[in-house]
Structure 1
Amino acid sequence: MNDRHTRRFGLGTATCLVMGNIIGGGIFLLPASVAPFGTVSLVAFGVLTVGAVALALVFGRLAERHPDTGGPYVYAREAFGDFAGFLSAWSYWTMTWVSNAALAVAAVGYVHVLLPGHPSKGTDLAVALIALWLPALANFAGTRYIGLVQTVSTVLKFIPLLFIAVVGLFFFDPHNLGAFHEGSGSAFGGMSAAAAILLYSYVGVESAAMSAGEVRDPERNVGRATVFGTIGSAVVYLLGTVAVFGTVAHDKLVKSQAPFSDAVNAMFGGHWGGTVVALAAVVSIVGALNGWTLMSAQSPYAAAKDGLFPAAFLTKRRGVPTFGVLAAGVLASALTVLNYLTGSGGVFEILVLITTFSATVPYLLAAGAQVYFLLTGRRDKVRPARFARDLTLALTAFGFTFWLVAGAGYAAIYQGVLFLFAGILVYAVMAARRTARQEDDRAAAQLPTPRQPEAVPPPAADDAALPRTT
């Protein structure tokens, strides 16, 4: 349905979609999380940024080849067949709605800073559910409002973060830095340990490719939005982490629960930094939920078009797969309710571990698909310089994603593989239904058509002119 609520994303909105999905709530704790490893963690961040940009460039190249909604799913299915495509869609879908629940719960902590007091568990649950369903309502309203919310929220969170990152450099004091490498072991080991925490900072680079069908001129704009969004996020990440490292004393930073708040207080004095950062965090999380809610519907929508997901996911209004949005909202809400009702994070933490592995499956398949396309394409149609460059980028992206898998840890891989294999049952059901439907269609096509009675030809003109005789 095309109406005033449907509008294709331009380059600016697509870039905001990428940045908004990459930068969630985790950035506000990242400096404190990696501080125990020393400043070697900044090196790890730099290495990861190179890998993330390589992956972004690969998604741009793939979007030029297949500018369709579904991104990683489309590439995996085109290269390796239905089963690989299904695994990509299943993993990505799982990752999105479980991550949405995690973001909603994280938002509650920042709301406590803005509205101090002693809220009940029921109040916290209500805040988390509101955080989930407000972005869902924006998605139901259509792509026009998704783009508006995404652009506004990205600007509102990007400006304060960039302000702290840039202004913090003027307050930078080298004495606040800890040792290059903290703890026992080698510096390389410390860098790998820090990287394991930072690895998922760039999840979301595929956002423009996932919504390529809703982007104007996708062959051109998806790649540019992906690279611009990834680089913009990297600037905020790297400069922000450096600014916090240089403004907050290392021994305090290691124990900090709000490193950006401590940085603001160190730069300007007072205790108002926590409120400012908490407000930015809430805006950041709402913007991320707005984008991830759309992502949670795009992958199953693309798979449903090929008969690999239930047909209900094809329901689309105002440019948005509304059933996918509804399904993700219900599942994320159920997980959030379960988290608060059980009183322990046991079930919730297990599913969050699953998402850390699930995010890497579509990336690995997409990078592998690019290698496949390059090696099986007509070499005479590809300039040697571009072929070598694209193959190097694809291999770098594959290596980066493989590192993501290794950094996820044994528990995440174990739980993730179990959940991934559970999807095989869904694939078996959908594949069987599609096969039966195809056989029915073939049988119908082979049925003989009913024989029509032969028409009696009219008499010839010359015969009609002859007189009748008895």
Structure 2
Amino acid sequence: MQVTGTATTQAATGPLGAPAEEPGGSATKHARRFGLPVATALVMGNIIGGGIFLLPASVAPYGTVSLVALGVLTVGAITLALVFGRLAQRDPRTGGPYVYAREAFGDFAGFLAAWAYWITTWVSNAALAVAAVGYLDVLIPVSHHRWTACLAALVIQWLPALANFAGTRWVGAVQLVSTVLKFVPLLLVAVGGLFFFDPHKMGPFNAGGGSPIGAISASAALLLYSYLGVESAAVSAGEVRDARRNVGRATVIGTAGAALVYLLGTVSVFGTVAHNSLVKSTAPFSDAVNAMFGGTWGGWAVALAALVSMTGCLNGWTLLSAQTPYAAARDGLFPAAFTRRRRGVPTVGVGVTVVLSSLLTVYNFMAGSAHVFEVLVLVTTFTATVPYLLATAAQLHHLASGRRDEVDGRRLVRDAVIAAVAAGFSIWLVAGAGYAAVYQGVLFLFVGILVYAVMAGRRRRAEG
């Protein structure tokens, strides 16, 4: 990224020595495409993807205690949204948690945030593709043959990648259209389902029979996947107009809107599909509409809406998967190839991510596990909490190190409480992910440490 003009050696670099981005966006013409509506749509579109359509069935084995977990998770997600909004006011550059962690704690913390978030994005894309096949099967029978289902999942991943290669204008357009289109059927289920609500179908409160607290933690760990994307506007802050103002607003509005749809939609599904059927469902929203109106036409309509939603979600996540490596590569912490951009999109990052998620998708279908989606979701729960926790720690660091005579006392206390709640929430999610997910996630992080060692060594040699 280049800065033109006569003036300004200081303007040519950001506070970390990276190419500067204007306070409201980057220095390129493509970065001015995202206003508040598109940034909000990016947040909502990335949050409301496969999670809302599949996770009611995933948490059904825990019983209605998972509704309590959803409420707690909503509060935690909004605190994270507020933290990201405040951090974006301090530093509105592309990269989100990576930028915040590196500015506060140095290169290694920034690299861990970028590496963990990058893993989260492409593993999440693979999980989303697995979920999408279940709804595609309602329209076109594809799951009867493993390789047919695998091919369909790959096509669902590559179509959004092609939109990203076309540039940020296409990314924003696809995101806005897909977000608008999917809300009509989602609201039909979320609101209309309340008129068909039958409390006898909801099943037991704690179906697992263990500790209610443990059930809340375990179901919340699964449900976190449905809230991944709360950081979307912060990660793409360099592409948002007036980022200091709009990132925070888009993050809170998008998260609150998604939470409302989630709460209403999950309650409606629980109250319209019998618990025993919901546990076995691969398309719970389609089953809910079929139970509400009879026949199969409603289920087909919702399945189509689910595919639109997941495609839009993959469109946004594909962009996010490239933005963090791009920001890290500019600072020499990722390979330099990740800095290559075309029409505002880091194309190498998009390409590498879609290849990795495709390989993981193929592996999942070859393994043939009935719980592939749940396994991937729990791994992303752990990897996502790493940058979330580092970002909240960065906010606490700034609040603790700031001069009290320069900060409004009431605002300082409020921001500190919000950051502390967000940090505690992130740690709680790590515990709820379970030993297996933490084990696999830590292995991913250890591989990243080796990559960091190589990149740091190359930087030192270049500087010497």
Same fold (TM over 0.5): yes
* 1:94-152 deviations in Å (ceiling 9; x for gaps): 11112212222332232221113676444333322221211111111111110000011
User: Within the alignment, does 1:224 sit opposite 2:249 as a pair?
Assistant: yes
Tell me by how many angstroms 1:342 deviates. 5.6
Q: Structure 2: how far apart are the matches of 1:391 and 1:130?
A: 45
Tell me by how many angstroms 1:291 deviates. 0.6
8 Å CA contact 1:353–1:415 kept in 2: the answer is no
Residue number among 180, 193, 207 corresponding to 2:232 in the alignment = 207
Q: CA, structure 1 residues 301+130, in 2 after alignment: closer, same or farther (shift >3 Å)? A: same
Q: Structure 1: how far apart are the matches of 2:28 and 2:84?
A: 30
Give 1:196's aligned residue: 221
Q: Structure 2: how far apart are the matches of 1:48 and 1:54?
A: 10
- What amino acid is the match of 2:445? L
Unaligned runs of 5+ in 2: 2-26
Q: Structure 2: how far apart are the matches of 1:352 and 1:254?
A: 17
Count of aligned pairs: 439
Give 1:245's aligned residue: 270
Give 1:79's aligned residue: 104
Question: Does 229-238 or 336-345 show the bigger shift?
Answer: 336-345
Give 2:184's aligned residue: 159
Residue number among 34, 38, 48 corresponding to 2:63 in the alignment = 38
Q: Structure 1: how far apart are the matches of 2:442 and 2:370?
A: 21
Tell me by how many angstroms 1:344 deviates. 5.8
Tell me by how many angstroms 1:277 deviates. 2.0
User: Within the alignment, does 1:309 sit opposite 2:337 as a pair?
Assistant: no
User: Within the alignment, does 1:125 sit opposite 2:150 as a pair?
Assistant: yes
Give 1:445's aligned residue: none
User: Within the alignment, does 1:394 sit opposite 2:416 as a pair?
Assistant: no
Residue number among 45, 51, 55 corresponding to 1:26 in the alignment = 51
* 1:248-278 deviations in Å (ceiling 9; x for gaps): 3334434444322222122212222321221
Q: Structure 2: how far apart are the matches of 1:29 and 1:424?
A: 34
8 Å CA contact 2:382–2:433 kept in 1: the answer is yes
SS in 1 for 2:342: coil
Q: Structure 2: how far apart are the matches of 1:86 and 1:270?
A: 52
Question: Does 155-164 or 284-293 show the bigger shift?
Answer: 155-164
Residue number among 140, 143, 148 corresponding to 2:168 in the alignment = 143
Q: CA, structure 1 residues 336+41, in 2 after alignment: closer, same or farther (shift >3 Å)? A: closer
Q: CA, structure 1 residues 130+19, in 2 after alignment: closer, same or farther (shift >3 Å)? A: same
8 Å CA contact 2:218–2:434 kept in 1: the answer is no
User: Within the alignment, does 1:270 sit opposite 2:267 as a pair?
Assistant: no
* 1:169-192 deviations in Å (ceiling 9; x for gaps): 122233333343334344434333
Q: Structure 2: how far apart are the matches of 1:362 and 1:295?
A: 14
Q: CA, structure 1 residues 349+166, in 2 after alignment: closer, same or farther (shift >3 Å)? A: closer
Q: CA, structure 1 residues 281+347, in 2 after alignment: closer, same or farther (shift >3 Å)? A: closer
Unaligned runs of 5+ in 1: 440-470
* 1:40-87 deviations in Å (ceiling 9; x for gaps): 322221111001000000000000001000000000001110000001
8 Å CA contact 2:89–2:245 kept in 1: the answer is yes
Give 1:380's aligned residue: 405
Q: CA, structure 1 residues 329+338, in 2 after alignment: closer, same or farther (shift >3 Å)? A: same
8 Å CA contact 1:59–1:223 kept in 2: the answer is yes
User: Within the alignment, does 1:283 sit opposite 2:311 as a pair?
Assistant: no
Q: Structure 2: how far apart are the matches of 1:348 and 1:32?
A: 11
Residue number among 135, 160, 164 corresponding to 1:110 in the alignment = 135
Question: Does 49-58 or 267-276 show the bigger shift?
Answer: 267-276
Q: Structure 1: how far apart are the matches of 2:101 and 2:302?
A: 40
Question: Does 177-186 or 275-284 show the bigger shift?
Answer: 177-186
8 Å CA contact 2:118–2:325 kept in 1: the answer is yes
- What amino acid is the match of 2:251? T
SS in 2 for 1:265: helix
User: Within the alignment, does 1:438 sit opposite 2:463 as a pair?
Assistant: yes
Q: CA, structure 1 residues 59+243, in 2 after alignment: closer, same or farther (shift >3 Å)? A: same
8 Å CA contact 1:97–1:296 kept in 2: the answer is yes
Q: Structure 2: how far apart are the matches of 1:186 and 1:409?
A: 15
Q: Structure 2: how far apart are the matches of 1:270 and 1:344?
A: 31
Question: Does 241-250 or 426-435 show the bigger shift?
Answer: 241-250
Give 1:177's aligned residue: 202
Q: Structure 2: how far apart are the matches of 1:273 and 1:258?
A: 12
* 1:411-435 deviations in Å (ceiling 9; x for gaps): 1111111210111111111111111
Q: Structure 2: how far apart are the matches of 1:346 and 1:177?
A: 23
User: Within the alignment, does 1:334 sit opposite 2:354 as a pair?
Assistant: no
Q: Structure 2: how far apart are the matches of 1:343 and 1:34?
A: 21
Q: CA, structure 1 residues 252+341, in 2 after alignment: closer, same or farther (shift >3 Å)? A: closer
Residue number among 83, 91, 98 corresponding to 1:58 in the alignment = 83
Q: How does 1:346-385 map to 2 (within 5 A)?
A: 354-385=379-410
SS in 2 for 1:359: helix
SS in 2 for 1:29: helix
Rg (Cα) greater in structure: 1
Q: CA, structure 1 residues 425+252, in 2 after alignment: closer, same or farther (shift >3 Å)? A: closer
Q: CA, structure 1 residues 413+109, in 2 after alignment: closer, same or farther (shift >3 Å)? A: same
Percent of pairs identical after alignment?
A: 72
8 Å CA contact 2:222–2:377 kept in 1: the answer is no
Aligned residues: CA RMSD: 2.3
Question: Does 343-352 or 71-80 show the bigger shift?
Answer: 343-352
Question: Does 266-275 or 320-329 show the bigger shift?
Answer: 266-275
Q: Structure 2: how far apart are the matches of 1:185 and 1:342?
A: 30
